[in-house]
Amino acid sequence: MILKFNNQIYHKHYKANNGFNYLIILFFGIVQFAKCLGFFEEDYEEKIFRTRDIKCLNNICEDGIFKWHETKTKNLYVGGIFPMVGSWPGGQSCLPSAIMALNEINLNRSILPNYRLNLNWFNSECNPGKGISNLYEMLFHKDKSQDDIIMLLGPGCSDVSSSVAEVANYWNLTVISFGSSSPALSNRNRFKTFFRTHPSAILDNPARLSLCKQFNWKKIVTLQDNKEVFTSTVDDLEKEAKNFEIEILDRQTFTNDPTYAVKNLKKLDARIIVGVFYEQEARKVFCAAYKERMLFPKYIWMIIGWYSENWYLEKDDEISCNRTEMQIAVYGHLTTEVQFFSTHVNEKLDYGLSVQDYNGFFRKFVSSPEWKNYANSFQKIDYKFKQSSLNEDYKSLLEIYDKIDSENSKEIEKLGGYLERSLAFDAVWVMAYALNNTLNHFGSLDYFDIKNYDVSNFIKESMKLINFKGISGMVTFNDQGDRISEVLYEQLQNNSGSLAYVKLGHHFKKTFKCCKNITWGSNKNPPIDGVQRKIRVNKIRMFYSITFSILSTVTILVGVSCLIFNHKFINRKIVKNSEPAINSLLVYGCFLCLISVYIFGFDKSELPAWLFNLICKAEVSLLLLGFTIGYSSLFSKIWYVYSATIQKKKNRKIYPDKIKLYTVIFIMVMIDVIFLFIWFIKDPLQKFTQKLEPENGETEEIIYEPEIRTCKCRHEIIWIGICFGIKGVFLVLGLYLSYETRNSKIEVMNDSRFAALSIYNIVVLSLITAPVVIIIQNQLDAAFCFLSFSINFCSFWTFALMFVPKVKHVLKHTIEQDIQEANLIENMIKEKKEKYLNLSQTNQNLNDEIEKKKEFLIKIEKLLNPNLFDDVGENEHYADDFEDEDFEHEEEDESSSITIENKSNSFGRLSFRNYSTKKEFSNIQNETVI
């Protein structure tokens, strides 16, 4: 659409000269003048919003309504791209505001003298493709009655600005946007001619982070619509957060439906949520938040502040929440928004208006019949609206304008872009100042051509020098073409039963002033930034550590008593014959295990790593070596008894050398030493912090994250497997030897049976303790108590089995009694020796007699059956089966049969007697003690 303020024709004839030319110009001027007065009703008139009406609305058309016709006779055209409908219909307020600014400029004789600004505008629908099409229309399908556009106002949406500004650069066309906030537009390499009166969205980021720092919020999350403007905003927020030492836990993105993104935020237990999305998506987000009960004050939402008034109450078919639920959902949220209006509302600005004047004029303007008529002509006069797929939105737009029945109507505040209208007003003034500077420099703008890079470059450079007080505050740009502005903080609070935004403070560059009138609902203090996750180092309780340390001390004292007893009565036979040196080694091995209890119970969690690692090695080494020394002492005794028993059965030397006892112990200990050496060199134990499952604290706002600091290595399972394999072999072997020697008695190893009982005890407890401790190793108290109890129980039980019988014997028997007992045993041995020798001789005699009987019986058998035997020497084995033979000769006399039967019976009796003698001999031999 083209807003043609006055003459549309005369510029065709600016080359005319002499009187004839002036007459032509005068004629067309009269015609145009008549049309402006309404004398001509042509279709063309509908395309014009009459400046006369604006003047009157602004109380400027007193006597000389058309005085500006006398001086401003040359037209300059600027393009405009406004989002009248779409995701952000900001053109609903920004278009009338821009027209108001054009009128003020055209009425102002001190700026652009002799030139009138005209606006050729299009509806982008907030669609990048539409925006490019709009630009194409302006550049190549413009009305033949107008010149080229000299600058471009808009677009209002960031996505559209990204496309249009990048293309406009190729025509060296300066673009100034009133609504685009995407940080990506600050890229001067892509958008060389782009400026904006709407500050970049990243301007809010330092403000947001300053607010977080104020309330000690160290962790935040972001929720964004999947659009470039919001993506780049969050990208910048991540960078800025590092400077503020604030952690962004997660970034959630959605396209249309934010339900799943909101659920994910709840799973993260995020409490401080920065949301960047358009107004329509904001309603979806807060409806989803209501359903998830992510409400104030437990959850703090920080969102964009440039939504329309009561945006959360707008009817929206895409959400399932009613008005009450939406009010509950949005209550208490915080907003950050750039300053849209100067804080000095009554101060006259550089172009003669105050903020109060502007607001009054704007309300009169959009509530006037002229504006409504103009709005009703949008679809009729603009074929681009006719082809629009958003006719329903267009109808909604007309309904909004029709509802505005007076300048005090609240429907005005529902117009899209109501807050940003001041930015459009100031954007037009920025264009006017830049063109005015260009006019002063070149002297004329009559021959402006966008292909003339000198003029267009100067316009762009003039933009950088802009600095004035506008409706939206100080208007100035940085090197990236971004507006520098304050950021305001607001909170939606309950004000006498209704919700209303309350200003909290502002942020400008590094100046932060906030937030005395902020409320936290029922809480007195600011909410926390999430569940307070407190690290709790799990340690062995002092009670258990002290208890088992005392118990270990008692057990050690018992062991010391055993050592004293072992040393004091070393010459007593009962002690001497139990190999006291081996018993001392047993006690020392138990001591090492008991000392490891002290180290296991010692709190080493706060120790430096090197000392922690050293203690780790000490724990394992003491326990492993102590177990091996103690167990190998018992094992060597059982092995000795077993070897002696085997040798006796083979009629060899009865007892092995006792040096082999120490050899067995040495071999078993050296296996452990070599194993530990390889382990600690290849894969040493080191301090390791293991996180456990979180636990609820005293309140729902506190969660403890328990951790244990233990000794670990990379291949721990392998090393434990090797260790258990070695120990398992020795335990099984010791169990087997104990079983095999259960009935054996050897005087020189008189406590072997008690050693076997101790091995049974150790095997059983080891098979229980080792796997249980590994399974419950994360339960420090339980694992420590179980291991400590097993060590103390095994040690104490072993001391009792190995020393109590000796102590009891020493207490009951004197040395003289021991000597008498020894002599008695010696006499018994002598008697049994003699009996043994007698029985041996008797047994030999009986064996000889048996052999003779066998020979005699074989001869008899041969005589009775000569064909059956060929060789007497081959038939000796038939003697045992003599009673079972079947005789084939029935003619043999009865006396022969009787004789043979008697012989057989005699043989059977001799055999039985022989068997009895052997059994008796064997028993005597076993009972003999040498």
> Per-residue pLDDT tens for 570-587?
888 888 888 889 999 999
Q: Clarify whether residues 615 and 746 are in a common domain.
A: yes
Q: Clarify whether residues 691 and 797 are in a common domain.
A: yes
795 neighbors 594 (Cβ within 8 angstroms):
yes
Q: Backbone phi, then psi, for 462, in 5-degree steps?
A: -65, -30
**In the predicted model, is pLDDT for residue 822 greater than 50?**
yes
Q: Clarify whether residues 119 and 227 are in a common domain.
A: no
CA atoms within 13 A on the CB side of 762: 32
Q: Clarify whether residues 498 and 390 are in a common domain.
A: no
Q: Clarify whether residues 596 and 545 are in a common domain.
A: yes
The answer to whether residue 591 is domain-embedded is: yes
The answer to whether residue 63 is domain-embedded is: no
CA atoms within 13 A on the CB side of 168: 35
Q: Which residue has the higher pLDDT, 791 or 20?
A: 791
CATH assignment at residue 681: 1.20.1070.10
Alpha-carbon distance of 332 to 767, in angstroms, equals 63
| pLDDT band per the 50, 70, 90 thresholds, residue 784 | very high
* Per-residue pLDDT at 651: 64
Q: Which residue has the higher pLDDT, 370 or 250?
A: 250
The answer to whether residue 286 is domain-embedded is: yes
* Sole residue written with tokens 């020394």: 629
Q: DSSP 3-state assignment of 475? A: strand
The answer to whether residue 46 is domain-embedded is: no
97 neighbors 170 (Cβ within 8 angstroms):
no
The answer to whether residue 13 is domain-embedded is: no
Q: Clarify whether residues 685 and 736 are in a common domain.
A: yes
Q: Clarify whether residues 553 and 409 are in a common domain.
A: no
- The total number of structural domains in the chain stands at 4
pTM given for the model: 0.55
Mean pLDDT of 335-349: 86
* Per-residue pLDDT at 898: 37
Least confident range from 46-50, 264-268, 487-491, 652-656: namely: 46-50
**In the predicted model, is pLDDT for residue 881 greater than 50?**
no
Nearest to 397 by CA among 410, 383, 414, 382: 414
303 neighbors 335 (Cβ within 8 angstroms):
yes
* Per-residue pLDDT at 829: 65
* Per-residue pLDDT at 824: 67
State the residue range of the domain holding 802: 536-812
Q: Which domain-ending residue is among 787, 812, 837?
A: 812
548 neighbors 792 (Cβ within 8 angstroms):
yes
Return the sign of the alpha-carbon dihedral for residues 273, 276, 278, 279: positive
Q: Which domain-ending residue is among 812, 830, 856?
A: 812
113 neighbors 71 (Cβ within 8 angstroms):
yes
267-293 b/e with 16+ CB inside 10 Å = b? Answer: eeebbbbbbbbbbbbbbbbbbbbbebe
Q: Clarify whether residues 245 and 369 are in a common domain.
A: no
Q: Clarify whether residues 166 and 254 are in a common domain.
A: no
In sequence order, which residues have a C-beta less than 8 Å from that of residue 236 and are 6 or more positions away? Answer: 183, 202, 205
Mean pLDDT of 660-678: 92
* Per-residue pLDDT at 65: 29
* Per-residue pLDDT at 95: 94
DSSP 753-806: HHHHHHHHHHHHHHHHHHHHHHHTTTSHHHHHHHHHHHHHHHHHHHHHHHHHHH
Return the sign of the alpha-carbon dihedral for residues 565, 566, 569, 574: positive
The answer to whether residue 366 is domain-embedded is: yes
Q: Which residue has the higher pLDDT, 31 or 217?
A: 217
* Per-residue pLDDT at 411: 85
Q: Clarify whether residues 150 and 175 are in a common domain.
A: yes
* Sole residue written with tokens 């009982």: 757
CATH assignment at residue 111: 3.40.50.2300
DSSP 291-305: HTT--TTTSEEEEES
Mean pLDDT of 366-388: 67
Residue type, 220: I
Mean pLDDT of 357-374: 89
**In this structure, what DSSP letter does residue 477 have?**
B
Q: Clarify whether residues 328 and 388 are in a common domain.
A: no
Instruction: Write down the number of H helices and E strands in the chain.
Output: 27, 20
Q: Which domain-ending residue is among 746, 781, 812?
A: 812
Q: Clarify whether residues 141 and 263 are in a common domain.
A: no
> Per-residue pLDDT tens for 57-79?
433 333 322 333 445 678 899 99
Least confident range from 240-244, 370-374, 612-616, 637-641: namely: 370-374
Alpha-carbon distance of 53 to 58, in angstroms, equals 9
In sequence order, which residues have a C-beta less than 8 Å from that of residue 489 and are 6 or more positions away? Answer: 207, 211, 334, 335, 336, 503, 504, 505, 506, 507, 514, 515
First to last CA, the chain: 131
Q: Crossing angle for the helix pair 542-568 and 580-601, nearest 10 degrees?
A: 170
**In the predicted model, is pLDDT for residue 448 greater than 60?**
yes
Alpha-carbon distance of 582 to 629, in angstroms, equals 10
The answer to whether residue 470 is domain-embedded is: no
The answer to whether residue 187 is domain-embedded is: yes
**In the predicted model, is pLDDT for residue 907 greater than 90?**
no
| pLDDT band per the 50, 70, 90 thresholds, residue 656 | low
